[in-house]
Amino acid sequence: MEQNNDAEGILVIDFGSQYVQLIARRIRENRVHSIVEAPSISIKRIKKINPRGIIFSGGPSSVYDKGAPSFDKRILDLGVPVLGICYGMQLIGKLAGGKITKSGKREYGHTVVRFKRNNPFFKGMRQKGVTWMSHRDKVTKLPKGFTSIARSENTACAAFLNKEKNIFGVQFHPEVVHTENGGKILKNFLFNVCECKRTWTMKSFIAQKVKGIKEQVGDNEVILGLSGGVDSTVSAVLLHKALGKKLHCIFVDNGVLRKGERDRVEKLFKKNIKLDLRVVDAEKRFLKVLRGVTEPEKKRKIIGREFIKVFEESAKKIKGVKFLAQGTLYPDVIESQSFFGGPSKTIKSHHNVGGLPRKMGLRLVEPLRDLFKDEVREVGSELGLAKELTGRQPFPGPGLAVRVMGEVTKERLNTLREADWIIIDVAKNRNIYNKTWQIFGLFLPVKSVGVMGDARTYENTIALRAVTSVDGMTADWAKIPYDILGEISNRIINQVEGINRVVYDISSKPPSTIEWE
């Protein structure tokens, strides 16, 4: 297959790498479209995608493991540039006729690599640099037509090239920040090797998506479960741009929302955007079914089931509905494809009202399913949404119910609401809100002795959780200045009744999670 000048984007084939989403995102950061597919992808499907380049990801397997994932060898003869990363490189080496053996010394972490710069892949690189290695196998015999273009202390072939077929392989991971100039290496592949064009912009995405939504929906009505978060807000505005009055949004006040959330959503969507918003007051229903429940996963399932019931009741009152819109994002799509036989991920079951499309005979509209979170924020900005909206931090679907440890009661929720409002207020005023991935409070039903004035107190505790992260998959606890922590603590203890102690969570993910439940 000759390289088609009309081809665009990069196809990433996932062999189980923990970094596969990162590879796809790094490509998109260069305004080049990327999609992730399974190793089982057919030649026919690849030709339909018509990529300008193909990247084989790393993976946890050895190429000689029984049942190790592989690819159709004919991909190497399509005339499309190929880059293999770690396991992907070893697999290319094996299938092309080379020899892969276990390394006598495993390379993991920071490794110095020396580069040969007489090729477009390492153009502009320094002679040597630090890379991030994570492997136990290595190429010990190059396939015919391949040459080594980099070496480390442990291997004579830290990268290879087949000049005739435009096939490259690297033993290290250029997509991670630990590799010096890893971004430059990927740019070289995208623009020097694959000759990609920077056409992936959110402005062009909006134009294409509006046209696609109109074609998909036609004259039918669409319903959307609106939570007020970034994903559902951007979905609503994008759908409204395409469909106008044919879009109907349902906002369920489940009683476990943040302070003022319902008023904020009504003001934004009813008064400013002026779309059809139906608000359902279901606080009493949710608190009733949560009464006495303390187990975290049980809370989540109860909230999910009750949400579906309330949403279904409201949806049935709208005539002519044929489509259900959801704020599914591309990471959800990647993780739910279950390439290697593992259990597929349940995508926001409490948000996407799982089961309803089939039960009500509805078809799905997922306007954001091609995007990563940072791209969703860009789309929101392009659509005219304020940074205060597009920059909102993630909020759990079950709301404050999973930030109240133990039983969920109205009294505890109100206490947490007030404390959480103070935390966010201080974070924004002291310019740390946008520097953290999430910052929030948790209600701990742990009473301790305190003193207020001349009186002894015996009251509850608020835990402060603040983390920094790129994508939420890993996170470090935020090193917030002591004076800001002091301000948060003083305001909560002085202004929130029933709280006499504030503690700060200094756990990172892993081993801890960001949320406590």
d(CA 287, CA 473): 31
From the list 162, 160, 180, 155, the residue with the least C-alpha distance to 170 is 160
From the list 406, 476, 372, 360, the residue with the least C-alpha distance to 21 is 372
Q: Is there a catalytic annotation at residue 175?
A: yes
d(CA 438, CA 403): 13
Catalytic residue among 173, 248, 350, 351: 173
Catalytic residue among 37, 86, 196, 459: 86
DSSP annotation of 475: B
- The label of the residue with tokens 């969703």 reads 376
Q: Is there a catalytic annotation at residue 86?
A: yes
Q: Encode 237-251: b = buried (16+ Cβ within 10 Å), e = exposed.
A: bbbbbbbeebbbbbb
d(CA 256, CA 237): 24
Residue-by-residue DSSP string for 286-328 = HHHHHTT---HHHHHHHHHHHHHHHHHHHHTTSTTEEEEE---
Structural contact between residues 415 and 406, judged by C-beta atoms closer than 8 angstroms: no
Residues paired with 248 in a beta bridge: 223, 276
d(CA 285, CA 314): 14
Sign of CA dihedral 417, 418, 422, 423: negative
Q: Is there a catalytic annotation at residue 173?
A: yes
Structure token digits, residue 171: 């033993």
Catalytic residue among 37, 107, 175, 306: 175
Cα separations (Å) of 82 from 76, 85, 169, 193, 205? Answer: 7, 10, 8, 9, 26
Residues paired with 56 in a beta bridge: 13, 84
Bond before 174 cis per omega within 30 degrees: no
Active site residue ranges:
86, 173, 175
